[in-house]
A and B are shown apart, each in its own frame.
Chain A
Amino acid sequence: MLSLFIILPLLSLMVINLLPKELMKKIGTLMSLILPLAQMLVVVFIFLGILDIRPGPADHFFKFNLAIDNISLVMLFSIAIVILVTLLVERHLIPDADERFNFLNLVLITFTGMNGIVLVQDLFSLYVFLEITTVATFILISFHKKRDALEGAFKYIILSALATVGILSSIALIFLISGDTSFAVVHQALQNSRHAFLIDFALAIFLGSLFIKGGLVPFHGWLADAYSSAGRAISILLAGIVTKTLGVYTLIRLVSSVFGFDTEVKGVLMFIGALSIIIGAFAALGQHDFKRLLAYSSISQVGYIILSLGCGTPLGIAAAVFHLFNHAIFKSLLFVNSAALELQTGTRHMDKMGGLAQKMPITGVTSLLASLSTAGMPPLSGFWSKLLIVMALWFSGHFAYAIIAVLASVLTLGYMLSLQNRVFFGKLRPELENVKEASFGLLFPMIILAGIIVGVGALFPFILNSLIFPIIIK
C-alpha cells in the first residue's frame, strides 16, 4: 500500500509519455491533478483510520523499506497541496504547450522523489530520493534558460553537490560502524558503538549538509538566488515544499528517529535556528524584489522550525511539524500572489507598485492573510504554530531563545507589513491604472490556500487534539 505513494507518480509519468503527445499536452495536467487529490484523500483516510496500511500486492513486488507516522502524514498532505496548486496555476504561468508538458514531467519526478523522502526508512534510499528531487529541481530552476535562472541553478548545484558529498561520506562512516543503513539498525548501532569520535564526525557532516539543503544561515547563499531567479510556477513548488522536504523534514526525521537528541545536537540546532531567524528577517527588511523578500522570509521561518526542533521535546517536534505545514501553505500562497502580481504589472520591484489593493482585491486580501499568518497574528494558523514553538522553548527552559522567537516575530510583522504597504496600500501609481485582477485560474488556488489558513486557525482545538497530541504522545 505504502509503495503506491512512490509508484503511482512514477507510473503516471510513464503513462503521459507513452500516450499520444499532442493529446497529453492538452489533458496531461488535468489527468495528473488526480494524483495529488487522491493523495490528500488517502492521507485523510489513513489519518481517520478508515484505510489501513497493510502491505498490499504492490509491496510484494517492490520491497521498499517504508513506514508512515503522523509526521509523514502531515508532510504527504502538504506535498499534495503544493503540487496541486502548482499544477493548477501552471496553465496560466507557462503559456507554451511544449514547455508546459516538460514542466509537468519534472513536477511528477519531484513528486515521486518527495514522497520517497518522506516514506523511506533507510539512509541510502533516502540519499537516492534526495538526489532524484534535487536533480529535477536543478532543471526546474533553469527551466526557461534565462541567464539569471542558470546562474541561480549553478550556485545551487555547487552547494547541493557539496551537501551530497557530505551526506554520502557520513553515510559511508555510519555504514562502516553499523553494517547496515536502515534507520532502526543505525539507531541501535549508534547507541552501542565504541567509535564515539567517528560518530560525532559523521553526525556533524550530516547535519551541516542538511543545513545546506534546507538553506539555513550560514549556508543560505544559494536560496535567495534560486528562488528569485526561478520561473513563476517553479518558485511556488520550490519555496512551498521542495527545500522543506529536502532539508528540513529530513533533519526532523533523522534527528528524532536516528541520531537522537544529544546536548550538542540540540545546541547546534537551536543556535543555527535562532541565527537563521534573525539574519533572514533583517535581510528581508532590506529587499526591494518581491520574491527575494519572500525567499529571505523563508529562511527566517525555517529557522523557527529548526529552533523548535532543537528543544528535543515532543512538543517541540510537534510544533516544528505544524509550522512546516503552515509554512508550506502561506509561502506557496505568497508565491502565487507574487506570480499574479508579476503577470499583471510586469514587475517584481516593490517600489514600482503601490495601491494595488483597489485593482486586485482578491490578490490583496489573500496576500494580507498570508502575511499576517507568517507574522503570527491570531487567529490565523501561523499564530498557533508560533505559539506552540514559544511554549516548547519556554517549557524546555530555553528562555532566551523563547524571547528571541517572540521578538523576531515582531520583525516578521515589520517586513510583511512593509511589503503590504508598498505593494497594496497607499496611492495607486498612474502607470498602474490599467492593471486588472488576475484570471480565475490563479485566484482559485489563492482562495483555497487562504481558506486553509483561516480554517486551520479557526479549527485549531480540533487539530491540536487530533494531530498534535498524537505526535507528542508517540
Chain B
Amino acid sequence: MTDPLALFWITCVFVIMLMIAGLYCIFVTYNLIRVLIGLELLIKAVTLLLVVAGYANNHLARSQAFVITLIVMEVIFIAVAAGIVIGLYYHNQSLDVRKLRNLKG
C-alpha cells in the first residue's frame, strides 16, 4: 500500500464501522456504563481518523501531538462521566437509563 490516500480510504471504512458500533451501543442499550463504552468507541474512531489524516497528508508529527492531547482530554472526560454515573447509581440503585425520566416539560 504505497498511496497514502488509498490507505486513508481503507481506514475510513474501519472508522465508520467503529462509529456505527459506538452509536449502536449508545442508542440500543439501557445501561449507563454501556453508554459510556459506546462514547469511548466513538472517540477511538475519531482518534484513528486523526492519525490516518496526518499520515495521508504527511503531517504525522502534528497529528501525533493532536492524538496525545486528545487521549488526555478523553481520560478526563470519561472520568467525570463515570463519576456522574456512580452518583446516579447511588440515587437510583440501578444503572437503567429508563429511570432517568424525572425532568420533563
The interface of chain A, by Cβ under 8 A from chain B, is 124, 128, 131, 135, 138-139, 142, 145, 147-148, 150-155, 157-158, 161-162, 164-165, 168-169, 171-173, 175-177, 179-180, 224-225, 228-229, 286-289, 292
Q: Among the listed A131, A168, A176, A225, which residue makes an inter-chain contact with B103, where contact means beta carbons less than 8 Å apart?
A: A225
- A183 CB to closest chain B CB, in angstroms? 16
- A171 CB to closest chain B CB, in angstroms? 8
B69 on the A face (CB < 8 A) = yes
A168 — which chain B residues lie within 8 A by C-beta? Answer: 43, 46, 49-50, 70
B103 — which chain A residues lie within 8 A by C-beta? Answer: 148, 151-152, 155, 224-225, 228-229
B20 on the A face (CB < 8 A) = no
Nearest CB to that of B92 among chain A residues? A147
Which chain B residues in 71-105 approach chain A with CB under 8 Å? 73, 76-77, 80-81, 84-85, 87-88, 91-92, 100, 102-103, 105
Main secondary structure of the interface of B (DSSP, over half): helix
CB <8 Å contact, B88 and A150: yes
- B49 CB to closest chain A CB, in angstroms? 4
Which of A138, A150, A164, A286 lies at the interface centre, i.e. has the most chain B CB atoms within 10 A of its CB? A150
Nearest CB to that of B88 among chain A residues? A150
CB <8 Å contact, A155 and B54: no
B92 — which chain A residues lie within 8 A by C-beta? Answer: 147
Q: Among the listed A147, A152, A292, which residue makes an inter-chain contact with B91, where contact means beta carbons less than 8 Å apart?
A: A147
CB <8 Å contact, B76 and A157: no
B64 on the A face (CB < 8 A) = no
Which of A135, A165, A286 lies at the interface centre, i.e. has the most chain B CB atoms within 10 A of its CB? A165
Given contacts A175-B53, A179-B57, contact A155 B100 (CB under 8 A): yes
CB <8 Å contact, A176 and B57: yes
Give CA–CA (A15, B56) in the complex, Å: 44
A/B interface sample: 11 pairs, CB < 8 A = A135-B77, A154-B32, A158-B26, A161-B39, A161-B77, A168-B50, A168-B70, A169-B46, A171-B50, A173-B49, A175-B53
B63 on the A face (CB < 8 A) = yes
Given contacts A145-B87, A168-B46, contact A176 B53 (CB under 8 A): yes
Which chain B residues in 1-34 approach chain A with CB under 8 Å? 8, 19, 26, 32
CB <8 Å contact, A176 and B8: yes
Give CA–CA (A161, B76) in the complex, Å: 12
Give CA–CA (A158, B37) in the complex, Å: 11
Q: Given contacts A155-B103, A172-B50, could you give 18 more A-B pairs where the C-beta distance is less than 8 Å?
A: A131-B77, A135-B77, A138-B81, A138-B84, A147-B102, A148-B103, A154-B88, A157-B84, A161-B43, A161-B77, A165-B42, A168-B50, A168-B70, A175-B50, A175-B63, A175-B66, A176-B53, A287-B105
Which of A157, A171, A289, A292 lies at the interface centre, i.e. has the most chain B CB atoms within 10 A of its CB? A157
CB <8 Å contact, A124 and B69: yes
3 A-B pairs closest in CB distance: A176-B53, A225-B103, A168-B46
B19 — which chain A residues lie within 8 A by C-beta? Answer: 165
CB <8 Å contact, B8 and A142: no
Give CA–CA (A359, B76) in the complex, Å: 46
CB <8 Å contact, A289 and B76: no
CB <8 Å contact, B100 and A289: no
B35 — which chain A residues lie within 8 A by C-beta? Answer: 158
Nearest CB to that of A149 among chain B residues? B87
CB <8 Å contact, B85 and A154: yes
A162 — which chain B residues lie within 8 A by C-beta? Answer: 42
Given contacts A158-B39, A175-B50, contact A224 B87 (CB under 8 A): no
- A352 CB to closest chain B CB, in angstroms? 16
- A321 CB to closest chain B CB, in angstroms? 29
Q: Among the listed B57, B76, B77, B87, which residue makes an inter-chain contact with A150, where contact means beta carbons less than 8 Å apart?
A: B87
